[in-house]
Structure 1
Amino acid sequence: MTSASPITIRPVAKSDFAAWLPLWAGYNRFYGRFGPTALPDEITAMTWSRFFDAYEPVHALVAESGGELVGLTHYLYHRNSTRIVPVCYLQDIFTAESVRGRGVGKALIEAVYEKAKAAGCDRVYWQTHETNTTAMRLYDQVAEKTGFVVYAKAL
């Protein structure tokens, strides 16, 4: 891929697995899920299979440039107690280091906006780690901070 190669955003295809997997691994590595804390292979396999299951609300888009996958995003639709229409949760987004700063992340987010709107959603939301300041500079341009703090408890 050259720096001049155009970026194409498209739905992931079953034939993309080998090219998607290193991006997925890079995303998980960024968030500390590698080595002893790596996701089990079963989770990766289940995540992948959900993209192609018509009964699952989980979807994936990839960014392609010069014949290579250079980014991914996973998102899902769900009901919400404060809306009649569904909302979209952008769960994962990652771009290859080689294309950072070229608008790939923004293009992926905007593609999710389009898909969500077409699915009848009126809101897309996501979260990121407080240390991910590079990504937050982009997020501040394409969305608004809600002020909510996320709590979680493993069960």
Structure 2
Amino acid sequence: MRADTAIVIRPLRLTDKEGWKHVWRNYLRFYSSIREDALYDFTFQRLADPAHSSMFGYVAEQQGQLRGLVNCIIHEHGWHQQPVIYLQDLFVDEKARGQGIGRQLIEQVYRYADDTGKASVYWLTQSNNHSAMKLYDSLAIKTDFIKYQR
């Protein structure tokens, strides 16, 4: 890959706000979800501020533009002594797909989990998200759990 098209996976920074909001808005649109504008600022602040230790994010940057994101939540778990990571959001801009960005973002979360002693990383996806599931099947074990929600 040429240097000018290289993909850089890095922690989310406070200076990424507008780019992150653009990518996250597209992610929510993909799932037909609309959220109030204040939630974008609220969520971004929690992800980008190192003082908020239970949430973090990484972005994929290419040619100065954010092309993808992963948003994570660290939480306690009754089956492990160490905390676990819930990979809540993963999205790659449609124009940037097919370059391995999603894989790189997940692998970065795995590295973080390993480096910080987290027990596991898990995530959910919609049952019809077949293209993403091809990637997930190559990186993780699919479980038989079904989500219930109130």
TM-score by length of 1: 0.91
Match of 1:72 in 2: 69
Q: Which amino acid aligns with 2:93?
A: A
Matched, 1:46 2:42: yes
Determine the C-alpha separation between the residues in 2 that align with 1:118 and 1:152.
32
**Deviation of residue 56 (structure 1)?**
3.9
Counterpart residue number, 1:81: 78
Gaps of 5+ in 1: none
Q: Hey, what's the Cα distance between the residues in 2 that align with 1:119 and 1:88?
A: 11
RMSD, aligned CA: 1.6
Q: Note the C-alpha offset of 1:53.
A: 5.0
Same amino acid, percent of matched pairs: 39
User: Structure 2 unaligned runs (5+)?
Assistant: none
Name the CA distance, whole Å, in 2 between partners of 1:17 and 1:97: 20
Whichever residue aligns with residue 19 of structure 1, its letter is G
Task: Give the paired residue count.
Answer: 148
Q: Quick one: which of 129, 134, 155 aligns to 2:131?
A: 134
Cα offsets for 1:66-108 (capped at 9, x unmatched):
1111000000111100011111100000001111111000000
User: After TM superposition, which residue ranges in structure 1, 4 or more long, deviate above 3 angstroms?
Assistant: none
- The structural deviation recorded for 1:64 is 0.6
For 1:12, the equivalent position in structure 2 comes to 12
TM value normalised by structure 2 = 0.93
